[in-house]
Structure 1
Amino acid sequence: MTSTSLPPGPPLPPVVQALIMLRFGPRFTAACRRRYGSVFTLRVAAMGTLVYLADPADIKTVFAGDPRIYHAGEANSMLKGLLGDTSVLVVDDDLHRERRRLMLPPFARDAVVRQEELIAGIAAEHLARWPVGTTFPVAPWTARITLEVILRTVIGASDPARLAALREVMPRLLTVGPWETAAIANQALLRRRPWRRLRTAIAEADRLLYAEIADRRTDPDLSARTDALAMLVRAGGLTDTELRDQLMTLLVAGHDTTATGLAWALERLTRHPEILARAERAALSGDDEYLDAVAKETLRIRPVVFDVGRVLTEPVELAGHRLPAGVMVVPGMLLVHDDPAVYPDPDRFDPDRMVGSALSPSTYLPFGGGPRRCLGATFAMLEFRVVLREILRRAVLDSTGAPAERRRLKHVIFVPHRGARIRVLARRDTPIAAAGQAPSCPVSQHTG
């Protein structure tokens, strides 16, 4: 039998590597790449042996590999405590393929475009409450917008009391620190007293989601509804528990990630006055191509998710090594996005590099790749563009010379360490553009 081997890597104990990854993940992996090359091994407590890949050719091999050998669900198993055992993110093989097939229709392009006007209206309603003339962290505000978008477009929640309860409980599940993350990764801890608050929040969210599912199953107008939950119920084949797990997955994966991406976009734009001015002109004129480029470049230079992993179910030849089963191979998203051979001058925030570009999933990874690519990617990019457009049309943003905000790891995503602090100089009164139409010019401007 052919022996297996692992690439070189730091000799630090797994607990030490885990602590370094939690506190300095991007800097640590970048240093390892400089020291060991485009493939290296980390041993991280609670995660096991990780083989990082920075060569796009190796990443392409992983994404194109047999999903029966490259298990993404197993790599995401730490999320089961929150998402549930049947979430599309934590299952593999035939079950994943069938689950994904059922969930794709609500996120097809035509279905997504139908939600554009609703998303714009939600953004406009929330933007009217943003403070004017004072510096504030924008991340909590973008989070409120994207949560409302998910609740209304994906879950279809309309009952006022239930909507209010969901708005209250979901942020408690999404603002978890290392202490709560430990219980999500190890579900047995949820039964213990120190994690009572988290357990209570999950139970309350479950109660509300099951109520929505029950309403949808008995809704006489089910055939006319456009929310994702209604489409999943119409498709059939999912139990209430399976529906709950998919809804929780969409809430967690689709809300906090987009909110954080928007916060990073505003953090980047306000530090680049010329790009901010151009983005404002694009928003006012209906130039969606440039706003899409801003969104794509933001997710390149400040990817929200650290990386994507696959657990090997059998030994494979990869990157010049025969890797053993049980190892997690990790396409290094930040390593590729920061590679000057792929993106010249990678530290420069430059949306122009994205205009008209054909992006490859082996060099542009914010949504993963292969059969496990984020099924909500089309929805996320439309939401990103629409909300960013409404912000730039309705708020006159001040530029700043403040230092760039650092990345801070929150659960499994990177957020701006100060919440992306911005200042709104004035508000514009601007009508909401219908889907597919260029926005009209603002009719007035005031400072609020």
Structure 2
Amino acid sequence: MFFHTLRDRWHEAFEPIGNLVRIAREPYRFLDDLRRRRGELAELRLAGIPTVLVCSEPETVRQILTGSYDQFERYAGGVELFVDPLALILTDDEHHRQRRKLLNPAFNAESVRAFGPTMLEIADRVLDGLPQGATFPLIGPMQDITMRVILRCLFGVAEGPRFEELRALVIEYLQRVFGPEMLALGTVLTPTQAHATLMRLSRRARGSAPNAPFTPSRLPVQRIADRLGRIHALLEVEIDRCLAEGPEHRSDVLALMLRARFADGRPMSREELHAQLLMLVIGGYETTSLSLCWAVHCLVRHPEALARVRAEVAEVMQGGFDPAKVRDLHYLGAAIAESMRLYPIGIGVSRKLKRPMRLLGRDLAAGTIVMLSVYLIQRHPSLWSEPDAFKPERMLDRKPSAAVHFPFGGGVWRCLGAAFAEHEMRIVLARLFTRFAVEPDPDHRVHAQQKGITAGPSGGLPVRVAPIA
């Protein structure tokens, strides 16, 4: 009895840490193993966050995913550590509905297509610099494209010294905010308290003059806070510049946000503008760049699919590459959708029950957190034929239900920038495969690794490229 009790206490104490390590190393394999051991409503304990139930039963997932504000609230699962409480991703009920309505026009089809020429220019410029004749991780140039697109299309920042400073600061901030310092702080405090601490420590840098030299602290946490404060200081300059130029004369997302008004005629406050802009960076940088890498991973390992992509691009763009025409690249769109089915960068979306519910024979109390496993549903054998196979054709035959294919999340909290990301991905992939032959590193076994809040290919997806004659 003594040894059983000791074993149980050891398991209770160290299981959350062990799970965190395993899910970081190979998140997809971890989820497969969790379902095999504990079923389709499985308890998961991770260090630093409350216990969640991982759900992979299709009908229950559909029920929760399509649920209303009255039934569920969004559970961000630690994202509070990285974004402001005013950010759209952390809001619920009428507050969320109003802001979602306000921001939607900036990401509708017409707005997204207007960004196409800028996306194309940036993609070609970065692709011009790809190293040739050597193996390199593709994630680097994909991140470079994504960050430049964000700053140009979303923030409206003109290229120059301030653009490069802001680009470097945002990248450094995101690298460090997902590092051990903030994760440790978020474990000792709550994620919300940790972010509040970071904001408090950022005040000095936030008040710095935009043209003054900037040297961040070397102290743990403070060096992250200094970069965040400096980012806010530079965003203030960009907001002022946009207002001086006249938001009505610009088409970037910041300008559209400055023109937007709530039903009572109020504009968004400066504080909220900052919160939404930084949310868009965090939500669009790693996610899009990693999704690009997963799509490349799938296509270079399936030469017939890649050949079909190239043929389609050649046919659609025979009069010259027009970014507006990427919407007609139907097979490429299907290949992207299929790669996101197999390799979703977000392994799950979570909801907190607002009232007691009975799910899969279990009575769950209000406040219970249920994570809908994107990965497990999108490979569920009852929903997909050959669930582990890359078959873009399945996305052409019939568009899958949003309850079985939801790499951008679903329901009222579906990712605001989904259309923006897909448009960008079509442009980047069409240009990459039109201009280069891409080969995977034969010595590297690619598997998923958790990278912050996203799952990406190990090693950053090592590849070799050569120009197509």
Deviation of residue 77 (structure 1)?
6.2
| Distance in 1 separating the partners of 2:19 and 2:445 | 26
- Tell me the residue number matched to 1:18: 20
Deviation of residue 320 (structure 1)?
2.4
Deviation of residue 368 (structure 1)?
0.8
Deviation of residue 18 (structure 1)?
3.3
Q: Deviations over 1:408-445 (max 9, x none)?
A: 11110012111111111215xxxxxxxxxxxxxxxxx3
1:210 equivalent in alignment to 2:212 = no
Aligned residue for 2:437, secondary structure, equals strand
Aligned residue for 1:130, secondary structure, equals coil
Deviation of residue 404 (structure 1)?
3.9
1:69 equivalent in alignment to 2:99 = no
Q: Deviations over 1:70-127 (max 9, x none)?
A: 111xx21622343211000111111111111111001011111121222112111111
User: In structure 2, do the counterparts of structure 1 residues 124 and 53 end up closer, same or farther at CA, with 3 Å as the change threshold?
Assistant: same
1:305 equivalent in alignment to 2:335 = no
1:423 equivalent in alignment to 2:464 = yes
Aligned residue for 2:268, secondary structure, equals coil
Structure 2 counterpart of 1:360, from 393, 396, 401: 401
| Distance in 1 separating the partners of 2:184 and 2:403 | 31
| Distance in 1 separating the partners of 2:368 and 2:269 | 33
Letter in 1 for 2:257: L
- Tell me the residue number matched to 1:200: 226
Deviation of residue 159 (structure 1)?
5.3
- Tell me the residue number matched to 1:436: none
Cα RMSD after superposing both structures: 2.1
Matched-pair contact (CA < 8 Å) for 1:305–1:413 = yes
Aligned residue for 1:343, secondary structure, equals coil
Percent of pairs identical after alignment? 31
- Tell me the residue number matched to 2:376: 335
- Tell me the residue number matched to 1:243: 273
Give runs of ≥4 in structure 1 deviating > 6 Å: none
| Distance in 2 separating the partners of 1:313 and 1:302 | 31
Letter in 1 for 2:353: L
Deviation of residue 246 (structure 1)?
0.5
| Distance in 2 separating the partners of 1:257 and 1:322 | 35
* Farther off after superposition, 232-241 or 194-203: 194-203
| Distance in 2 separating the partners of 1:351 and 1:63 | 24
- Tell me the residue number matched to 1:7: none
- Report which of the two has the higher share of helix: 2
Deviation of residue 188 (structure 1)?
6.0
| Distance in 2 separating the partners of 1:381 and 1:344 | 25
Matched-pair contact (CA < 8 Å) for 2:349–2:373 = yes
| Distance in 2 separating the partners of 1:51 and 1:253 | 24
User: In structure 2, do the counterparts of structure 1 residues 268 and 112 end up closer, same or farther at CA, with 3 Å as the change threshold?
Assistant: same
What TM-score comes out, normalization by structure 2 length? 0.84
1:265 equivalent in alignment to 2:291 = no
Any gaps of 5 or more consecutive residues in structure 1?
A: 1-9, 428-444
- Tell me the residue number matched to 1:346: 387
Letter in 1 for 2:383: V
User: In structure 2, do the counterparts of structure 1 residues 365 and 312 end up closer, same or farther at CA, with 3 Å as the change threshold?
Assistant: same
* Farther off after superposition, 189-198 or 387-396: 189-198
User: In structure 2, do the counterparts of structure 1 residues 189 and 343 end up closer, same or farther at CA, with 3 Å as the change threshold?
Assistant: same
1:279 equivalent in alignment to 2:294 = no
| Distance in 1 separating the partners of 2:442 and 2:219 | 46
Q: Deviations over 1:240-297 (max 9, x none)?
A: 1100110001111112111111111122222222222222222222360011011111
Deviation of residue 339 (structure 1)?
1.5
Matched-pair contact (CA < 8 Å) for 2:27–2:449 = no
- Tell me the residue number matched to 1:441: none
